[in-house]
Amino acid sequence: MHVDNFDPDTFLWILEKADVPWLPWEWDSLRDKAYAKNPMKMNGMSVIGKYLSKMRLKQHKNECWADSEKLQQEHEKSAAALAEQDAAYQEQIKKRFEDGEIS
């Protein structure tokens, strides 16, 4: 079995068989931490075990493979909302700076 931590096509079938949701941002976070720790020791199983363990935590307990698309859409919506809030905050700070309220 060959799992490439950078190519989802090599491990998505495992997640489907294990009936855990595919959350790309969680996978990427675990993969990047493993790579930063020691890129030479990172192999195909470095991330999948940690990911499966994480998906068994209480916060993901009631989620399954079928929920993947819904969870990804929710994540995108929350990221977009956060980006809007950040843009509004930056605009507010810029206006206050231009008005001389802050330095």
Residue 64 φ then ψ, to 5°? -135, 180
Looking at residue 98, its amino acid is E
Averaged pLDDT score across all residues of the chain = 90
User: From the CA atom positions of the chain, what is the Rg in Å?
Assistant: 19
Asked if pLDDT for residue 1 goes beyond 80, the answer is no
Query: Any idea which residue has 């949701």 for tokens?
Result: 21
Q: What percent of the chain is predicted at pLDDT more than 70?
A: 99
Whole-Å CA distances, 64 to 27, 29, 51: 15, 20, 13
Using one digit for the tens of pLDDT, what is the confidence trace for 42-52?
Answer: 888 889 999 99
Tell me the whole-structure pTM to 2 decimals. 0.72
How far, in Å, CA of 41 to CA of 15, rounded?
A: 23
